[in-house]
Amino acid sequence: MATILIVDDHADSREFLVTLLGYRDHVMLEAADGLEALTVVRDRHPDLVVADVLMPTMDGYEFVMQLRADPDIARTPVIFYTATYHEREALSLARSCGVSDVLTKPSEPGIVLATVDRVLGEVVTPSLPQKDELDRRHLRLMTDKLKLVSDDLGVASQRYAALIDINLQLASERDPRRLLDSLCRIARELIGAGTAMLAVRDKNGDGSLYLSSSGLDPEVAQKLSLPSMQAGIFGDVIGQRKARRLPNPGGDPLTVGLPATYPAAYSLLAVPVMSLAHTYGWICLCDRLGGGGFSEEDENLLGILAAQAGRIYENGSLYLSLKEQEERFRQLAENIRDVFWLVSTETGEDIYISPAYDQVWGLPRQQGRNSLASLRESVHPDDREKIPPLLSDLTVYDTEYRVVRPDGSIRWIHDRGFPVRNAESQVYRFAGVAEDITSRKINEEKFARLTRIHTVLSQINSTIVRIHDRQALFEEACRIVVEHGRFGMAWIGTLDSETQAVTPGAQAAKAVEDEADRMLRTAQAQDEDSQGILREAIQRAKPTYCNDITPASGGGTWRRLALARGYHSVVVLPLFTHATVVGVFVLYATERNFFDANERSLLTELANDISFALEYIEKTEQASYLAYYDNLTGLSNRVMFHERLGQFIKTSERERERLAVLIVDLDRFKTVNDTLGRQAGDALIRELAQRLRVCVAEPVQLARAGADQFAMVLPDLKHAGEIARLIEGRLKECLEEPFLLDGEELRVSAKVGISLYPEDGRDAEALFLNAEMALKKAKSQGKRYLFFDRNMSESVAQNLGLENRLRRALANEEFLLHYQPKVDLVTGVISGMEALIRWQSPDEGLIPPLQFIPLLEETGLILDVGHWVLERAAADLRSWQEQGVEVPGIAVNVSALQLRQADFVRQVKGAIQQGGSRLTLDLELTESMVMSDVEDSLVKLRELRELGLGVAIDDFGTGYSSLSYIARLPIDVIKIDRSFIVKMIEHPDDMMIVSTIITMAHNMRLKVVAEGVDSTDQVDILHGMGCDEMQGYLFSKPVPALEMLGLLRRGARFER
């Protein structure tokens, strides 16, 4: 790889050598003359220099002499690449300067590469001739060369100046024959030939030839025959599209293909007359004046002249063709219905507008010649943005718009605009074609209307097939007509047959619906104008249309609201079932005159389709209703009851609750039917169904299970006793009240079969079947009701009897209070007492609380009994105080149900303030009661403390409680459950629990009471642990109030 410098004032020559030698991976440098080359050589020290000879500033010879004179760069090899090497003086001078080799311009690439490779391998020995001799030889060479070049340039300059004038002359000639005659004459005179002859085919392709000559005697010229265009020299000129120069020593014209009558011709130059695309003929010159043959320059000059004439000859044809086309275009433009226009891009003014403009725009063309802006003035204001405001090189549009004619009529225009470019691809005009498409638009609109409504009908019919729900059908119908029918808003309202009021039920709007749309529907539905469009449609039972909603067309707020929303047309379509109007379908459109005859017909069909769907839905609903409901009572039938019972069972299973299934069967119903008739029996069933609704919380819990049977499901069942109370309460009331049938009173009774979930079955079928079996047993045994489980029936019967006795006991004041004292473990004195309820039955004597208190809780009687206990304890306390006895305090137990009552605090307050004096009582609650709803308990306990009452946690340790919550409770006392006390001596764990409770309570500053103390050993242990008080049979069992009073009066003490 070598570094090579290329020196040449022609960039093309430099580029050729740089590219060629660059393929050999040489490093290439460039310079435009010898002076620049010297700088590069001194700076870069290249391995080789390839230089031209004739260059400005410093030529190649001067460059080499300067190179060899500098010792640092004198050994740099040089190759001359020039067109002057063939001159002996130039070659000799180059050798004497130490130039390694001389290459011809142009040279074959292979020769260049081989020469460079050879010279790079040689060693240069610089040698220069004597400077004076070198300067003399250099100067003579340059002088001779410049003179020759100057002479040649002078001749060439004259010829080419003449050629330019001739070309201008030929280009201005439009007549083809005169053009060819001029070419023949001018070519002979310009080049200097004795004679000239030209033969050209007709440019229209009809096969005829035109012959012209110059320099011939006129008689000879007239007798010339037509030469062959296909054979000989002239055939080669035409076929190969190349010039021919040849001598003709004998002068015979036939030898060179000329006519026999042509004068003798000793030399000939022939070139084709052609354009870039076609060859039309040839022109030949004979006998160069001055002797000798024609030169290469003569050939080039004649070729240029003939080619220019060929193009002019061809373009002359195009010119005429264009003139003809222009005329045809003008005739076409003035006879078509489209408007053709041309606008100047420089001035913006119209160059041409076809006569159709007058008919389409309704304006004389003079009004359209000012500028594009004047054309835009007639365009509809809403469409003006579709036309570009300015025309530029990039403007191309294809659009449709409306124009408003002077008479106010509207025309639809399809306008296509595009730039027109000249031969230099510069835009110099803007053209457009405007087509009147009004008729097409009208037809399209008609077709679109029909297509649109048919699409809506198709969609509605598809919806009718898919949707069998009335509301869903209404909503989908509104959506379809808005989305596919070009309506701005649609709504459907139902008609009340009695009040004739219309209630909007479904709607859809093109835009986002807002309050204005809702106000519009409401205002139209409530329009009190009897002549209003809505009322008219309902009263006439026919579609009513308004194609121009204006306040002047009638009153009504809805009209103003409609106009505010941009609606201008409306139709009200009545909807029918069984030939009765049941609703209206209201459609709004934004256009005036929206509803034409075709649209009205199709919309009527649309309303009829929806009406048909309503009738179908009604029949379907009726069939579905009869499949799941009893037609006589409106209650669920047996099938529906089974489905709903299954749902109730799933809920009970998830919530871990119980439920009951009851089947109620009327006694002697067949007798009623047989005696009073079927109608009376139906009336009895209807009336009983109505009464039984009060026995259930929700209508879905009741069903007609047979001709004389009803079924009930009671979820969230807490105790079986609830069922007995229902039967003995509300069900009994339903049956005991006489039924009035045809003016006669009728009393009926019923039997009830009961099954319970999950005891008697875990699915609907099992529960229902077991309830039916229980009903059969009840009917066979004459029982009013029976459970499927016999033991459950007996237990419920016992509890029901006990419940009735408890209610009587409360009413007859059979309850009484016993008191069990609490003793201070340090002093042994009575420190308080606990009020305990007892039942003194007149039949069974004193009944212990465990036998009746659970039932009081279950039945809710505890609320009444608990309130009585509070009042009784307060009364005893007040009585003892009035007798002068010092009472340390009475504790009353409170049930969970009492604590949950919202007015619990008010009841306690009333009890302790009765008689005008305030009494202090303590309330005892279990920890589980308090923890079930801590926040509610906190609020109520704080209110009780504010009343001066103490609060104790009873049975502490048996439930689950959080110490963090216990610490928050406003309590005073913790009572340790007796289960820990009785076992603590034998069970160390219980001992530890008791000790821990006492320690914890004291740390929380609470008093501790031990329950169930019945031995002195227990007392000793508790005393040792620091327990505050004890309560138990060791000191006293619960005693009547009178005995308790005696203990207080005596000042009874506990002696250890």
Q: Which tens digits make up the pLDDT trace of 237-261?
A: 988 999 999 999 889 998 888 888 8
pLDDT exceeds cutoff 80 at 836: yes
- pLDDT for the residue numbered 335: 67
Region 50-54 average pLDDT? 86
pLDDT exceeds cutoff 50 at 146: no
Q: Domain 813-1048, what fold?
A: TIM Barrel (3.20.20)
Q: What Å distances lie between residue 480 and 475, 485, 486, 489, 750, CA to CA?
A: 9, 7, 10, 11, 56
- pLDDT for the residue numbered 447: 77
Q: Spell out the domain ranges in the chain.
A: 3-129, 157-319, 328-436, 448-625, 633-803, 813-1048
Tokens of 505: 């039920």
pLDDT tens column, 1005-1055: 999 999 999 999 999 999 999 999 999 999 999 999 999 999 999 988 888
| CA gap 554, 559 in Å, rounded | 8
Identify the CA nearest to 217 among candidates 235, 201, 195: 195
**Burial class of residue 130, CB neighbours in 10 A (0-12, 13-18, 19+):** exposed
Helix 904-912 vs helix 934-946: crossing angle, to nearest 10:
20
HEC letters along 302-345: HHHHHHHHHHHHHHHHHHHHHHHHHHHHHHHHCCCCCEEEEEEC
Tokens of 772: 């039916």
- Residue predicted with more confidence, 42 or 559: 42
| CA gap 340, 457 in Å, rounded | 43
CATH of domain 157-319: 3.30.450.40
Q: What Å distances lie between residue 1004 and 354, 503, 561, 995, CA to CA?
A: 111, 68, 74, 14
Of 35-39, 136-140, 300-304, 497-501, least confident by mean pLDDT is 136-140
Rg over alpha carbons for the chain, rounded to the nearest Å, is 64
Confidence of residue 357 (pLDDT cuts 50, 70, 90): confident
- pLDDT for the residue numbered 249: 87
- Residue predicted with more confidence, 804 or 130: 804
How many residues in the chain? 1056
| CA gap 955, 966 in Å, rounded | 14
The SS3 of residue 104 is strand
- Taken in order 200, 202, 207, 210, the sign of the CA dihedral is negative
Tokens of 98: 């130490």
- Cβ contact 196:213 at 8 Å: yes
| CA gap 987, 989 in Å, rounded | 5
- pLDDT for the residue numbered 332: 63
pLDDT exceeds cutoff 70 at 808: yes
Q: How far is CA 518 from the centre of its chain?
A: 26
- pLDDT for the residue numbered 318: 45
pLDDT tens column, 914-971: 755 567 789 998 877 877 788 888 898 899 888 888 999 988 877 655 666 677 888 9
**C-beta contacts of 1039-1047 below 8 A and 24+ residues apart:** 1039/818, 1039/819, 1039/820, 1040/816, 1040/818, 1040/819, 1041/816, 1041/817, 1041/818, 1041/819, 1041/876, 1044/818, 1044/819, 1044/821, 1044/833, 1045/880, 1045/883, 1045/885, 1047/821, 1047/830
Helix 678-692 vs helix 669-676: crossing angle, to nearest 10:
140
| CA gap 65, 130 in Å, rounded | 11
Q: For residue 799, what are the contacts with CB-CB under 8 A and spacing of at least 6?
A: 720, 721, 724, 855, 858
- pLDDT for the residue numbered 168: 53
| CA gap 805, 295 in Å, rounded | 154
What pairing do the DSSP bridges indicate for beta strands 101-104 and 48-51?
A: unpaired
| CA gap 410, 378 in Å, rounded | 10
pLDDT tens column, 517-526: 666 667 666 6
- pLDDT for the residue numbered 149: 45
CATH of domain 328-436: 3.30.450.20
The mean of the pLDDT values for the chain is 83
| CA gap 740, 684 in Å, rounded | 8
Query: Do 448-625 and 157-319 fall under one CATH topology?
Result: yes
Region 991-1002 average pLDDT? 93
- Cβ contact 209:199 at 8 Å: yes
pLDDT tens column, 415-427: 888 888 876 778 8
- pLDDT for the residue numbered 1039: 94
Look at the block and give the residue holding tokens 């060179």: 256
The SS3 of residue 1052 is coil
Q: What Å distances lie between residue 802 and 322, 338, 636, 917, CA to CA?
A: 125, 108, 36, 37
| CA gap 571, 489 in Å, rounded | 11
Region 419-446 average pLDDT? 82
| CA gap 148, 64 in Å, rounded | 24
- pLDDT for the residue numbered 328: 64
Identify the CA nearest to 236 among candidates 272, 286, 290: 272
- pLDDT for the residue numbered 148: 47
Region 1-16 average pLDDT? 87
Q: What Å distances lie between residue 347 and 99, 340, 387, 931, CA to CA?
A: 66, 18, 18, 96
Confidence of residue 789 (pLDDT cuts 50, 70, 90): confident
CATH of domain 448-625: 3.30.450.40
- Taken in order 257, 263, 266, 267, the sign of the CA dihedral is negative
Tokens of 943: 């209110």
What is the reported pTM? 0.38
CATH architecture label of 633-803: 2-Layer Sandwich (3.30)
CATH architecture label of 3-129: 3-Layer(aba) Sandwich (3.40)
